[in-house]
Amino acid sequence: MSARIIDGKAFAADLRERVASHVPAFRERTGRSPGLAVVLVGEDPASAVYVRNKGKMTRAAGMESIEHRLDAKVEQDELNALVDRLNADPTVDGILVQLPLPPHLDADEVILRIDPDKDVDGFHPVNAGRLASGLPAMVPCTPLGCLMLLEDELGDLSGKDAVVIGRSNIVGKPMAALLTAKSCTVTVAHSRTRNLPHYLKHADIVVAAVGRPQFVHGEWLKPGATVIDVGINRTEDGLVGDVDFDSAASMAGAITPVPGGVGPMTIAVLLRNTLVAAHRREGVPLDE
Ligand code: NDP
């Protein structure tokens, strides 16, 4: 193995500390802490763990965590009404509705209802449009976390060849938009891509967001590439990424592990997005 291991856990801890360090000045200016409202519908165990961790880390950063737990059978109208109340609440800067929702609820309808300025997940089409247009946007947490790790590892990304595997609204598409904005030459691969190894052979940067365990093989990579593995797959052998770590680590220049790579970045960026939303809403400048 020759690749450097990118320590997302340490980077995320540092980011959470930096976020926390801005809270006292915000409180001084506004008389309140930034507030993040998280809505959990039903009892999905993985979602419950995520929501608990989000609450814990929000409070640890000195911010206000507002948690709403709704019954799995809640009607769409009731969920919409809660979002309306959170939109109107001046102490709420960020609104996050934990996905997936039970099948009788329409997630798109809920996302469209969230005030784009409070949309700390960055899933509202207005934010996707702002990101694509180069306007100030709320950017989805996972791809923004990947970008932070890449810039920390590589510095200026301008002119690099990047392949993003996956085109979801949550990861792949915003990742491609972020890398394009940083002047990378971006290829977006997906399930219909023919000959993925051909594209990977030329890629300085690979972001894998496929949802298939150990899908990307080391021999497909350009020697020295920087590999960001977004995948979280639960298998009999435990948690594995979308990249075959051992073969990739012998070819790549740097690689994120799973766990301990991209995963911890997501909540840290959520806190950062909440801090940014709070400052924008109050018109308080933020020197990140
Ligand atoms: P989606 O299932 O929404 O998207 C997967 C993408 O991979 C699709 O665009 C799909 O293509 C593409 N794909 C599927 N098979 C292939 C293939 N054989 N070759 C090339 N592309 C393929 O997943 P998400 O984007 O939501 O998540 C991706 C992974 O990231 C998952 O493992 C998920 O658990 C993880 N994740 C981790 C997060 C974190 O905090 N670290 C946060 C979010 C996700 P097509 O569009 O053609 O179907």
Residue range 44-65, pLDDT digits in tens: 999 999 999 999 999 999 999 9
Quote the ligand 1 centre to 61 CA distance (angstroms): 30
In a domain? residue 192:
yes
Reading across the β-sheet that carries 94-97, which strands appear in turn? 64-70, 35-41, 94-97
Domain count, the chain: 2
Does residue 186 belong to any structural domain of this protein? yes
With respect to residue 122, please indicate whether it lies within any of the assigned structural domains: no
Distance of alpha carbon 100 from alpha carbon 77, whole angstroms: 17
**Taking the CB of residue 127, how many other CB atoms lie within 10 A of it?**
24
263 lines ligand 1 (CB under 6 A): yes
Judge if the beta carbon of residue 210 lies within 6 A of ligand 1: yes
pLDDT per residue as tens digits for the range 110-159: 999 999 999 999 999 999 999 999 999 999 999 999 999 999 999 999 99
Q: Judge whether 133 is annotated as a binding position.
A: no
The verdict on whether 98 is a catalytic residue reads: yes
Q: Per-residue confidence at 288, pLDDT binned at 50, 70, 90? A: confident
* Same domain as 173, residue 102: no
- Catalytic one of 93, 98, 214, 229: 98
Q: Are residues 77 and 148 in the same domain?
A: no
Shared domain for 173 and 74, answered yes or no, is no
> Mean per-residue pLDDT for 7-17?
98
Instruction: Give the domain CATH number at 52.
Output: 3.40.50.10860
Tens of pLDDT, residues 193-206: 999 999 999 999 99
Active-site residue among 93, 119, 121, 242?
121
In this predicted complex, what is the ipTM?
Answer: 0.99
Please tell me whether 167 is known to bind a ligand.
Answer: yes
Q: How far apart are CA 201 and CA 28, in angstroms?
A: 52
For residue 223, the enclosing domain spans 141-264
* pLDDT tens-digit readout, 68-89: 999 999 999 999 999 999 999 9
- Cβ of 99 below 6 Å from ligand 1: no
Asked about 201 being catalytic, the answer comes back as no
Give the CATH number of the domain where residue 211 resides: 3.40.50.720
Q: Do both 89 and 171 map to the same domain?
A: no
Residue 183 in any domain: the answer is yes
Reading the block at residue 246, the tokens are: 């051992």
In the predicted structure, residue 235 carries a pLDDT above the cut 70: yes
- The mean pLDDT value of the chain amounts to 97
Q: What is the pLDDT of residue 242?
A: 98
